[in-house]
Amino acid sequence: MPAKHPPYPYVEPEESGLAILDIEVLADRYAHDWGFRDGKYLDEVCTAAGVDIEYSHRPNDIMLEVPLQGRPVIWLPRPGRKRDDRVITATALGHWALQVDKARKANPGCGIQALYEPTSLQSREEATAFGLAFLMPMDAFVVSWEEGRSQAASERFDVPTKVAYLRAKGLELGDAI
């Protein structure tokens, strides 16, 4: 299990400042670049992105760890549910794609830890928006939502129903909480 306070300096990722539409576009681009749109499993996608996936027993405070030495790791809670793991992985990839380079440049000599309960809610919201767009592309999601609302979207994209509702809310679709 990773240490919340490692023996080297670390920072949390800061928000990128990108607009939601720009995050949608980037999520789709990375989904293509990393092979997710071609049907690769998320562990293969993470390999293509240069990130490992590991499991940790609770308490597990760290979602994504980018150490000074070694490969970045997405930490999933054990035991976990497949659908929740997919969302956590996609959200962590959002931190990786949107915020890690900026944090590295602003804080040379520091590791980076994206926490499950971050100091900056905006950075988490950006990463979540990325993850939702990554897993559920806008056009396909809208079709699925129109066919059967949250249940259809949940099944099609293999995510929890509450996550389908979050995506619908972000896209301002009817009947979203």
Domain spans, the chain: 10-135, 137-171
pLDDT under 50 in the chain at which residues? none
Please tell me the predicted confidence (pLDDT) of residue 6: 64
Q: What is the pTM of this model?
A: 0.92
CATH number of 10-135, picked from 1.10.10.2910, 3.40.50.2300, 1.10.287.130, 1.10.10.10: 1.10.10.2910
Q: 78 has which bridge partners?
A: 57
Please tell me the predicted confidence (pLDDT) of residue 79: 79
CA–CA dist 55, 67 (Å, integer)? 17
Closest CA to 114 of 124, 122, 106: 124
